[in-house]
Amino acid sequence: MTITIALPKIPKLECPPDGKIGKKELNAYFKNIGRTMGRLNLSAAGDDDCSLAVIAAVLAIEEVMLPVDSITTKPFDKLKSKELEYRYRARELGKDIEEYFKKSIVEILLDVAKLLGVPNPFIVPIPFIGTATLVDDKGNPYKYDPLIIDMFTKDGQKKIKAALKEDLEEVKKFLGIDSKYDGSLGIKAPDLEAEEVWHKVKNWFNELINDFIGSVANAIAKAVKVIPIIGKPIYDLITAAVDPTVTVEQAFDKMVAEYKAKIKKAKEDVLSGKAAEDLGQKILDEAIETILAIRIPLIGTLGDLIDVDTNKRDIVMKEDIFHELEDAFKEFIQKARRFFKGGLIVKINDIMAKAPGYILQQFPIVGKILKIIKRVADILSGKNPLTECDVLRIILPPIFSFGSLIENLLPDCVDVVYVE
């Protein structure tokens, strides 16, 4: 007996020559892995030999995917499908790549911060999460006070996410989160709302890192302001620098808030009898198209960076796409901000590197700063290259073989029909 199963083709994840793997490729890869697992689960309904073989394949695939479970945080609650779960895990992995780059920069810049008296912003408690009671591997409860520095490790993030669950409403208030699967846009899904809150926390962390990079650049400018030859160019560079991401983010936040208000009102008008037709869906479609066209400085449009084709999803919810785009914008705006603020460090390094020898002799602080920030400049300018592919190989070594491993586990009795 054979079983015919319609499965999405898991795209081959490969490293291009420049080593850059985009969010679009990463999301498509994990989304279709999740869709495959979900469809196989639904197909294994009988007790015949082939159905049993499919069940065994599902269990084997889950074993193959355990490394992903270990390097991404567990959903707060069991999500409605594997596709949804792996879409969230892919989103987290994309943020982890950016955090990996930033961690190496922060570790170096902390030496400059210490030298110039800039406070370390990462060794303080997370301001929106209180003391939580967690359970260790042996089942023993213990008190945990989340520190920002814990966000730099996956074990730390797992503990923070567990602690987050106890203060979810307070976190939402602190971060200004509204209208995420609370029903106001059409779907009430507390499990998905909780995951969106976690991703908001990840974006907050990335913003904090960018603010730190900027504070170090400002501190350097003030420290060398009066030093001949290099002081004025560096100080002028920093004081005249205008971050192009700020106005774009402000406009985005205003636009999203307006769309949410329009959608919410349209749905309320239907419920109250003021309107016979629910225009909320049309407004939501318009909002999605508008967001996809937004250009993020130094990176590109969201439409180029993320794929929201509903024909390539089993779980299709327009509100889901809307919130996914919200999160993607915030993720990419922080990446663009890292390019901008990191670029200032590179330019400071270039100015200092051209300073005459007597400047370094008369002002030892310049040599000390230069020795440190040169390492950052080498990373950011590509002299010490580390690509997305390199990072993925470090944090998740088997990532490029998941697709082929899953396909090889499909039993011979399954006749696969590939779909979008």
pLDDT digits (tens, 9 = 90+) for 241-264: 999 999 999 999 999 999 999 998
Quick one: pLDDT at residue 176?
Answer: 86
pLDDT in tens, 61-88: 999 999 999 999 999 888 889 999 999 9
Q: Which residue has the higher pLDDT, 386 or 214?
A: 214
Quick one: pLDDT at residue 269?
Answer: 87
pTM of the predicted model, to two decimals? 0.91
Quick one: pLDDT at residue 319?
Answer: 86
- In this structure, of 30-39, 271-280, 293-302, 357-366, the range with the lowest mean pLDDT score is 271-280
Q: Which residue has the higher pLDDT, 300 or 381?
A: 300
> In the numeric block, which tokens belong to residue 103?
């961690």
Q: Which residues contact 164 (CB under 8 A, 6 or more apart)?
A: 129, 171, 197, 198, 201
Quick one: pLDDT at residue 157?
Answer: 96
Average pLDDT (336-357) is: 95
Give me the percent of the chain exceeding a pLDDT of 70: 99
Residue 279 has pLDDT above 90, yes or no: no
Residue 150 has pLDDT above 90, yes or no: yes
Q: What DSSP line would sit under 225-292, residue for residue?
A: TTSTTTHHHHHHHHHH---HHHHHHHHHHHHHHHHHHHHHHHHHHHHHTS-SS--HHHHHHHHHHHHH
Quick one: pLDDT at residue 280?
Answer: 85
Residue 34 has pLDDT above 90, yes or no: yes
Residue 117 has pLDDT above 80, yes or no: yes
Q: Rounded to whole angstroms, what are the CA distances from 5 to 37, 87, 124, 413?
A: 12, 22, 52, 10
What band does 368 get if pLDDT is binned at 50, 70 and 90? Answer: very high
> In the numeric block, which tokens belong to residue 92?
């987290």
Residue 320 has pLDDT above 90, yes or no: no
Average pLDDT (261-290) is: 87
Quick one: pLDDT at residue 179?
Answer: 58
Average pLDDT (333-354) is: 95
Average pLDDT (182-187) is: 74
What band does 379 get if pLDDT is binned at 50, 70 and 90? Answer: confident
Residue 293 has pLDDT above 90, yes or no: yes
